[in-house]
């Protein structure tokens, strides 16, 4: 799949960047774009200025929602009923936390 970016300056141009299968969620960390790939069970990190691939990181099953808290990337995984916390600088998994219906008391 590809991610499209419309640049606001100059002539309207759409630029596309390759990401994983089934891109769904998007977060910006100030320098990079993070894309959840629903069908690939991972997230793609792209340099926002160039679109260059920075890395691809495995997360839980069917990642959808994504957020940046200033230090970490948080990914909601609907298929595995958990949330993955990634270090935004390195992409390393900081932790996985149970969430969702399976965790309801």
Among 26-35, 60-69, 92-101, the least confident range: 92-101
Average pLDDT, the chain: 89
Q: What residues are paired with 36 via a beta bridge? A: 43
For residue 101, the model assigns a pLDDT of 73
pLDDT in tens, 70-92: 999 999 999 999 999 999 999 99
Q: Using the 8-state DSSP alphabet, how is residue 103 labeled?
A: G
Query: Which residues span the domain enclosing 27?
Result: 2-103
| Number of domains comprising the chain | 1
CATH of the domain at 55: 2.120.10.30
**pTM (2 d.p.):** 0.83
- Distance in angstroms (rounded) separating the CA atoms of residues 97 and 47: 27
């Amino acid at each position: 799949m590809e991610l499209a970016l419309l640049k606001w300056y100059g002539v309207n141009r759409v630029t596309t960047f390759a990401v994983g299968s089934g891109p769904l969620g998007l977060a910006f960390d100030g320098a990079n774009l993070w894309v959840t790939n629903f069908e690939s069970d991972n997230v793609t990190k792209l340099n926002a200025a160039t679109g260059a691939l920075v890395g691809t990181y495995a997360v839980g099953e069917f990642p959808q929602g994504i957020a940046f808290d200033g230090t970490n990337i948080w990914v909601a995984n609907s298929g595995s009923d958990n949330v993955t916390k990634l270090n935004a600088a390195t992409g390393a998994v900081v932790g996985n936390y149970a969430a969702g219906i399976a965790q309801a008391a």
